[in-house]
A and B are shown apart, each in its own frame.
Chain A
Amino acid sequence: MADLTYREALRQALQEEMRRDERVFVMGEDVAAYGGTYAVTKGLVDEFGEKRVKDTPIAESVIVGSAMGAAMAGLRPVAELMTVNFSLLALDQIVNHAAKLHYMFGGQIEVPMVVRTAAGWGQLGPTHSQTFENYFAYVPGLLVVAPASPRDAKGLLKAAIRDPNPVIFLEHSLLYSLKGEVPDDDFVEELGRSRVLRRGRDVTIVSYSRMAVASMIAAERLAGEGIEAEVIDLRTLRPLDMEPVLESVRRTNRAVVVEEGWRSCGMGAEIAARIYEHAFDYLDAPVARVASFEVPVAYNRSLERQTIPDEEDVIDAVRKLVKR
Chain B
Amino acid sequence: MPATTVVMPKMGYDMTQGKIVRWLKHEGDQVQKGEQIAEIETDKVNIQIESFASGVLQKILVPEGETVPVGQPIAQIGEPGEKPTAVAPAEILPSQELGGGEGGEAPPVPVSGEGPRMEEAPGAPPGAAEEERIKASPVARRLAQEQGVELSQVQGSGPGGRITKEDVERYLTEAARRQRAPEKAAPPKPAAPPPERPPAAAPPPPAPETAFAPPEGVPIEIEEISRMGQAVARHMADSKRSIPHFYTTVEIIMDRVVALREELNQDLPEQERISINDFIMKATAMALTRFPRLNGYYQDGKRHLYRQINLAMAVALEDGLVAPVIRDCDRKSLFQIARESRELVGRTRQGVLRQEDYAGGTFTVTNMGMLGVEEFGAIINPPQAAILAVGTVAPRPVVEEGLLTVAHTVKATLSADHRLVNGADAARFLTELRKWLENPARLLL
B314 to chain A, nearest CB (A): 38
Sample of 9 A–B contacts (CB below 8 Å): A35-B45, A42-B44, A123-B13, A176-B14, A180-B117, A198-B121, A210-B110, A217-B110, A251-B126
A217 surroundings in chain B (CB, below 8 A): 109-110, 115-116
Number of interface residues of A (CB under 8 A): 52
Among A48-56, A95-103, A144-152, A158-166, which stretch is in contact with chain B? A144-152
A179 lies within 8 A of B130 (CB): no
Q: Roughly how many angstroms separate A145 CA and B114 CA in the complex, as a whole number?
A: 23
A180 lies within 8 A of B108 (CB): no
A213 lies within 8 A of B115 (CB): yes
Given the known interface contacts A174-B14, A177-B112, the answer about A39 and B43 at a Cβ–Cβ threshold of 8 Å is yes
As a 0/1 sequence over residues 109 to 153 of chain B, the CB contacts with chain A under 8 angstroms (1 = contact) are 111111111111101011011100101110000000000000000
Q: Roughly how many angstroms separate A174 CA and B109 CA in the complex, as a whole number?
A: 8
B43 lies within 8 A of A179 (CB): no
Interface residues of A, dominant DSSP: mixed
As a 0/1 sequence over residues 179 to 199 of chain A, the CB contacts with chain B under 8 angstroms (1 = contact) are 111000000000000011111
B114 lies within 8 A of A179 (CB): yes
Q: Roughly how many angstroms separate A148 CA and B117 CA in the complex, as a whole number?
A: 11
Interface residues of B, dominant DSSP: loop
Nearest neighbor of A215 in chain B, beta-carbon distance = B116
As a 0/1 sequence over residues 96 to 138 of chain A, the CB contacts with chain B under 8 angstroms (1 = contact) are 0000000000000000000000001111100000000000000
Q: Roughly how many angstroms separate A17 CA and B294 CA in the complex, as a whole number?
A: 87
A88 surroundings in chain B (CB, below 8 A): none
Given the known interface contacts A122-B13, A220-B116, the answer about A199 and B135 at a Cβ–Cβ threshold of 8 Å is no
B135 lies within 8 A of A39 (CB): no
Q: Indicate whether B160 reaches chain A with its CB closer than 8 angstroms.
A: yes
Which residues in window 283-303 of A have CB below 8 A to B?
301-302
B70 to chain A, nearest CB (A): 12
Interface residues of B (CB under 8 A from A): 13-14, 16, 43-45, 103, 105, 108-121, 123, 125-126, 128-130, 133, 135-137, 160, 162
Most buried by A among B14, B111, B116: B116
A216 surroundings in chain B (CB, below 8 A): 115-118
Q: Roughly how many angstroms separate A38 CA and B137 CA in the complex, as a whole number?
A: 50
Nearest neighbor of B161 in chain A, beta-carbon distance = A281
Given the known interface contacts A148-B118, A151-B119, A201-B126, the answer about A38 and B44 at a Cβ–Cβ threshold of 8 Å is yes
Q: Indicate whether A310 reaches chain B with its CB closer than 8 angstroms.
A: yes
Q: Roughly how many angstroms separate A201 CA and B121 CA in the complex, as a whole number?
A: 13
B12 to chain A, nearest CB (A): 9
A39 lies within 8 A of B45 (CB): yes
A42 to chain B, nearest CB (A): 8
Given the known interface contacts A176-B43, A199-B125, A250-B128, the answer about A233 and B118 at a Cβ–Cβ threshold of 8 Å is yes
> Which residue of the partner chain, among B113, B119, B123, contacts A181 with CB atoms under 8 Å?
B119
B126 lies within 8 A of A174 (CB): no
